[in-house]
Chain A
Amino acid sequence: MTGYLIRRIGQAIIVVIGVILLTFLFTQIIPGGAARAALGQRATPSAIYRFNIENHYNVSVFQQFWIYIWNVLHGNLGQSFRQNQSVRSLIESKLPKTLVLVGLSTIFALIVAVPLGILQVIRRNKPVDYILTGVSFVGYSMPAFLLGQLLILWLAIDLHIFESAAPQGDTVWQILSDPRGWILPVFSLSAITIAGFSRYMRSSMMEQLTEDYIRTARAKGAGPSRVLFRHALRNALIPIITLLGLSLPAIVGGAIITETVFNYPGMGLLTTNAATQNDVQLLVGTTLVAAVATVIGNLVADLLYAVVDPRVRYS
């Protein structure tokens, strides 16, 4: 296991460096260069020259890359010239917001989706199954901005039950202490995730119930509940673990549409704006965070396979 871990971490580092290098290369083709992007159209050649000198844009891209890696190793992710803040502080202020929003919605989605999927299997081809399947399809196909906006107009503006905007605090505590603010965006985001998760759960459970080991368990006298929860569920969760592993980048990367509709500037909006505003340092910084989250998510998923499935061992 230790050897496997070391191998995977080594691979992860290579992947992250590769992603950063690629991002760096792509930023070289920004029209007008990083200086023009930071200083705007009115910038004079002298101002651009000075900016390039001060920020090492006058050296080769590979030198810039190594300077960046060196700075990253020292905790310096660079400066966003559009936002007048360090990239690190920007990420530190937006990441908690996103963790709360996407993390809570993922947990909520799991809590609802797994039992829903099981219920559909138990009531397979019965009215409950058909109704839940229909609701899932509606939820899955519902555009996030539409659902969010409808919820705001109805529950916030017309009925005044919730706030139309998510909490504006920067810390996890400030956000969580305002449930009237966060319930709607969390529900809005999880409604779509629930639909997907429950469909995966249903099909996975149905697949497990056709396996030989289930027939064997029943032949040995195991009751329906024991078959379902002790034998089938554990194996049926494996695809969900894969989904969860793949969700980690999203949990860190943010949910751009929900953030936009609910006035909740998190990592999704930060990354999108960095891309549209050619904010080079910020774009590379958020890409770095997403890359790290992706490799960690995959690694964690692989390790969890071993926990839930005794057949999987990394030796």
Chain B
Amino acid sequence: MESIGWGKRRTRRLGILGAAALVVLTLAACGGGSSSNTTTNGGGTKVSGGTAHWAEAPQATPNYIFPFASFSYFSVANLTQFQELMFRPLYWFGQGQTPNLNESLSIANLPSYSNGGKTVKVTLKPYKWSNGEQVTPQDVIFWLNMMKVEKTIWAGYVPGTIPDDITSITTSGKTLTFQLSSNANSNWFTYNELSQITPMPMAWNLTGSGQVATCGTASFSSITTTTTKDSKGNDVLTPVSPEAKSCAAVYTYLDSQAKKISGYATSPLWSVVDGPWKLSNMDTSGNVTFVPNTKYSGPIKPTLSKFVELPYTSDNAEFNALAGNQVDLGYLPTQDIQSPATSSGSGPCDIKPGANNPRLSGYNIVPVFGWSINYFPYNFQSTGNGGQAGKIFSQLYFRQAFQTLVNQPLYIKKIDKGYGVPTYGPVPVCPNNKFATTTEESNPYAYNQQKAVNLLKSNGWDVKPGGTTTCADATKCGVPAGTPLSFDLQYAGGTTAIDQLMQGEKSSWAQAGIQVNLKSSTFDTVIGTATPCTATGSTPCGWELENWGGGWIFAPDYYPSGEDLFQTGASSNGGSYSNPQSDNLIKQTTQGNADLAAFENYVAKDLPVVWQPNALGVAEISKKLQGVGPPNPLLTLNPENWYFTK
């Protein structure tokens, strides 16, 4: 999912909930404040009521309310920082600074697996919608019915996975029983499949105002579709059964209603919520006001009387708002960090913030880890560099040399001012988590210039530090003699940090005679270019290296099993990395009982992409605001936990 939050950098779509920017959170104690029921707390007197203001990331305003987002609206700003405040997903992820499943905030109990992982049982908790109706198993099926018909729309869809792998669903009381077509790894199915589901109320089962549909009440098995191929071989999904056609009509209606942003707060559709908040006002500029849902069934009821999200045009504008105490929870732009963070030496995740910016004395400064990795792809199919780029990238020794010249700790210290963590493999090393292995954490390719030079020399290259290395022995290089190590790297520029990082890495690669020609471009141009391609006839597959500056945030595929990114043919495998052993290891983590270790260690060493330092966001939290806790690595918001003190 596209991640823009806590002010850092831009990552890709929800797998990319993410921004050249992590984000921005901000809220404040403006005293919209109402009543004042008070209790005591360690940090002062707890005040009931008040309005908290939170800063949205620049150019990342929420603009889509229907929790069945197409690719265009599949973003952190829309999902985790907007929709999920009102419409709770079946399972909630993020517990403290971990990405773990949070059973307490989920609207279902933990799933149980049997029959070798082919049967999954999910039991709902007694939640209610704000219109008084129960949240039922049929509300879950309503969402799955929709997905069955509109799966090409839903941005979380991966062919062969949910709903394709569900053969039947039965219900009994509050329990749903899923029968799957093949064995599923329980971690993977919970974290990557069930994680996508958001129950939908029957109040949405409409094809027009007052026109009740059959989609919402239909059984999963009654939804039938057919798939044909167009002239270019693309799948074209067509609803067949009346219930399936009804689902298509419901989607069209709800999507059309979701285009009326100014009408969200007064819509009879979107006012039916099961989350702790409901909209009281929203405009097209991104100003959003939430008020508590007084009928919320969850464990923690809101204390605040309002929660306001505010849009900003730039980092500067957001910083000015912070300095003026107009927001309670915001982010500190990198350029405004005055004292670098330090590490106590107990690991890369142990980051101690430096002193706060002197203009922000009313705030506490907190590093924000993201459940993300940062990288950029090689194009293994590239016809660049005289047709040899893809062939060079396919040589493991070259990728090892290239990666060995990336000095991540140095860039984190100098460019990110200490607010960064390294990426050494396909699983985030930070925040501390149960998935990262010691092999990955130990950095298999620590910076070593001489080692990189030796690797190239031993594989037939005539290394010319500061010049251009060329292939001297074709039998060892894997490419014709005379081929230069010269590549084009397009990156999403515009921020000082990424410009410095790219220049720094260019200099480092040049130490082994690897010439990298940098070209700064926009984020959208880079992601538009970094897509899988194959040269055909007169159509080249020209790009070589593309860096959009953020990598990937794991959401709602919280389990970093790699099938989205590194499996052969995956839509987000932009560089067309293909390795049977890696594919097999991924399969074992999704359909077998293997944990991530084997896959993770293999991919960390096989270097399908260039691992990059991952800049952190830096949150600024008003000292008057309590209950925020360590920011969630999935960038979700839980303002129901927040309260002011006096």
Interface residue ranges, A against B (CB under 8 Å)? 30-33, 36-50, 81-85, 89-90, 93, 145, 149, 152-153, 156-157, 163-165, 168, 170, 259-265, 269, 273, 275-278
Contact = CB atoms under 8 A, between A and B. Distances in A.
Nearest to A275: B522
A50 B283 contact: no
Nearest to A148: B316
Nearest to A261: B316
Contact of A265 (B14, B311, B564): B311
A180 to B, nearest CB: 12
B16 A42 contact: yes
B454 interface: no
Given A37-B528, A49-B236, A149-B316, A93 B284 contact: yes
A85 B285 contact: no
Interface stretch (B118-126, B196-204, B227-235, B421-429): B227-235
B377 to A, nearest CB: 11
Given A156-B324, A165-B320, A259 B528 contact: no
Given A31-B529, A89-B284, A260-B313, A42 B13 contact: yes
Find the residue from A42, A50, A263 having the highest chain B CB count within 10 A. Answer: A42
Nearest to B156: A42
Given A41-B13, A168-B285, A276-B523, A47 B74 contact: no
B359 interface: yes
Contact of A46 (B234, B359, B531): B234
A43 B525 contact: no
A238 to B, nearest CB: 37
Given A38-B72, A42-B564, A260-B316, 7 more contacts: A33-B528, A41-B528, A50-B153, A145-B316, A149-B316, A260-B314, A269-B313
Contact of A41 (B317, B321, B324, B572): B572
Contact of B71 (A39, A153, A156, A164): A39
A150 to B, nearest CB: 12
Contacts of B59: 273, 277
Contacts, number: 161
Interface string B322-363: 011010000000000000000000000000000000010000
Contacts of A89: 284
B523 A46 contact: no
A93 B564 CA distance: 39
Contacts of B287: 168
B64 interface: yes
Nearest to B78: A84
B133 interface: no
Nearest to B73: A84
Interface in B510-567: 522-525, 527-531, 548, 564
A89 B285 CA distance: 11
B312 interface: yes
A170 B326 CA distance: 20
Given A44-B152, A165-B320, A264 B528 contact: no
A57 to B, nearest CB: 13
Name the residue in A48, A149, A157 with the highest tally of chain B Cβ atoms < 10 Å from its Cβ. A157
Report, nearest first, the 8 A-B pairs whose CB atoms are least far apart: A32-B528, A31-B528, A263-B317, A39-B71, A164-B320, A41-B527, A49-B234, A42-B13
Q: Which of B155, B235, B359, B528 has the most CB of A within 10 A?
A: B528
A42 B524 contact: no
B101 interface: no
B261 interface: yes
Contacts of B284: 83, 85, 89-90, 93, 170
Given A170-B285, A278-B524, A164 B323 contact: yes
A278 B285 contact: no
20 contacts: A30-B528, A32-B531, A36-B528, A42-B13, A42-B572, A43-B71, A43-B571, A46-B152, A47-B70, A83-B63, A85-B284, A153-B320, A156-B324, A157-B323, A157-B324, A165-B317, A165-B321, A168-B287, A261-B314, A264-B313
Contacts of B314: 260-261, 263
Contacts of A90: 284
Nearest to B312: A263
A117 B320 CA distance: 35
Contacts of A48: 234
B417 interface: no
B574 to A, nearest CB: 7
A275 to B, nearest CB: 8
- Count chain A CB atoms within 10 A of each CB in B59, B234, B317 and give the residue with the most: B317
B12 interface: yes
B642 interface: no
B110 interface: no
A261 B317 CA distance: 6
Contacts of B311: 263, 265
A264 B317 CA distance: 9
Interface in B31-86: 59, 63-64, 70-74
A276 B572 CA distance: 22
B72 A31 contact: no
B174 interface: no
Contacts of A275: 522
B258 A84 contact: yes
A263 B316 CA distance: 9
B527 A40 contact: yes
B524 A277 contact: yes
Interface string B410-438: 00000000000000000000000000000
A265 B528 contact: no
B522 A278 contact: yes
Nearest to B564: A42
B531 A36 contact: yes
A41 B525 contact: no
Nearest to A149: B316
B283 A170 contact: yes
Contact of B259 (A32, A82, A85, A145): A85
B234 A42 contact: no
Given A42-B14, A84-B258, A276 B524 contact: yes
Nearest to A89: B284
Given A85-B259, A165-B317, A265-B285, A41 B530 contact: yes
Contacts of B155: 40, 42-43
A164 B324 contact: yes
A66 B323 CA distance: 50
A124 to B, nearest CB: 41
A108 B14 CA distance: 47
A44 B321 contact: no
A156 to B, nearest CB: 6
B462 interface: no
B487 interface: no
Nearest to B65: A84
B527 A263 contact: no
Interface in B433-447: none
A43 to B, nearest CB: 5
Interface in B123-160: 152-153, 155, 157, 159
Interface in B153-188: 153, 155, 157, 159
A87 B372 CA distance: 34
A49 to B, nearest CB: 4
Given A85-B63, A259-B313, A276-B522, A44 B157 contact: yes
A152 B261 contact: no
Given A36-B531, A262-B317, A84 B285 contact: no
Interface in B257-315: 258-259, 261, 283-285, 287, 311-314
B15 interface: yes
A45 B283 CA distance: 33
Contacts of B531: 32, 36, 41
Nearest to B259: A84
Contacts of B73: 84
A40 B74 contact: yes
Contacts of A40: 2, 12-13, 16, 71-72, 74, 155, 527
Contact of B522 (A39, A170, A277): A277
